[in-house]
Amino acid sequence: MILLTGVAGFIGMHLAWRLLAEGHEVVGVDHLGPCTAPVAASTFARGLKERRLAEIGGARGLRFRRLDVTEGGPLEDLFREHRFERVIHLAAQTGVRHSSSHPVACVTTNLVGLANVLECSRRHGVRHVLYASSSSVYGASRRLPFDEHDPAGHPVSIYAATKRGGELLAHSYSHLYGLPTTGLRFFTVYGPWGRPDMAPMLFAGAIAAGRPIEVYDGGRMLRDFTYVDDVVEAVLRLAARPAGAEPAFDAARPDPAASHAPYRIYNVGNQQAVLLSDFIDALEDALGRRAVRLPRPMPGADMAATCADTQALRQAIGWTPATPLRTGIARFVEWFRHHGACHA
């Protein structure tokens, strides 16, 4: 049996679909709180998590429990009720910019929530914990592509700091209790039913409605856009491979992505650094409309560029994300025309 936290989130919804379709027993939890401000009040964002749950459908066999992972007592009761073999922890307070104005909420959800999941997992004999980290942990680094074996000690946002802190917390549990943990550094995930605070949804809604879009740093920001189905495939393949100790681990030159303990970190990205302006071009072409672009300076919490080195992922599972941007954008726009446009 698998516990999936954040099941009503963007990635959680798509992952639940695949797990249930493949016949897994899944208990999904989510607190169904509002989406990240300031878009929480938008028409599309209201009730988004409930609509995602409805799309998953009760007929598929999902056992849903409304629960906040920051509340240790109810989470402990859930673990006592079920014998989870694997835990996939996606519940989080998302949003790099949002974390700057809501730091305590971000720290509480992302660190206390993870701590509760890890503690319950070790107490109840879970065989493997996978948890969502983020490409944002690379912070001020300008060395591209980002490599898990490089240090990630200079976060530039509160969100990034909580994600890097979560990785360190997971390592402690792997070292102290032998709990296998795998951290997944996701790179700018996009696709159908995506987050309303992310560029694909914000831009598509504005372009479709004829509203201007804010373009930071003249569109020169670079992002490794990763299609959600590729992310799901990586998670599924890694879930079946509990992290193990690295036999060649050298304590004199420690590898940040591996350990003497059963601990691993992987980049999950498309290995392509795409200019924001090129991303907007692709979105315009798929929508058949031009955007009105308003130049804006880049926020201090944003990174100038991201790009994933996924060699370690390929070595581990024999596969790596590769959906071309325009293919992914076409799939997203097809969904948007049927589900998102009416809420834009």
* 324 phi-psi bin (left φ>0, alpha ψ -120 to 50, beta other): beta
Q: Within 13 A of 68's CA, how many CA atoms are on the CB side? A: 11
Residues near 302 by beta carbon (within 8 Å), at least 6 away in sequence: 96, 97, 156, 157, 216, 221
What are the φ and ψ backbone dihedral angles of 108, each rounded to 5 degrees? -60, -50
CA 138 to chain centre: 15
Let me know if 22 is exposed, middle or buried by CB neighbors in 10 A (0-12, 13-18, 19+).
Answer: exposed
Residue (of 137, 327, 89) closest to 227 by Cα position: 327
Residues in the chain: 344
CA 55 to chain centre: 20
Alpha helices in 249-310 (DSSP H): 276-287
Q: Which two tokens stand for residue 54?
A: 């409805």
Active-site residue (options: 131, 138, 159, 190):
159
Q: Check if the beta carbon of residue 230 is closer than 8 Å to that of residue 308.
A: no
**138 given a catalytic annotation:** no
Q: Check if the beta carbon of residue 207 is closer than 8 Å to that of residue 287.
A: yes
Strands 181-186 and 263-268: parallel
Residues belonging to the active site: 159
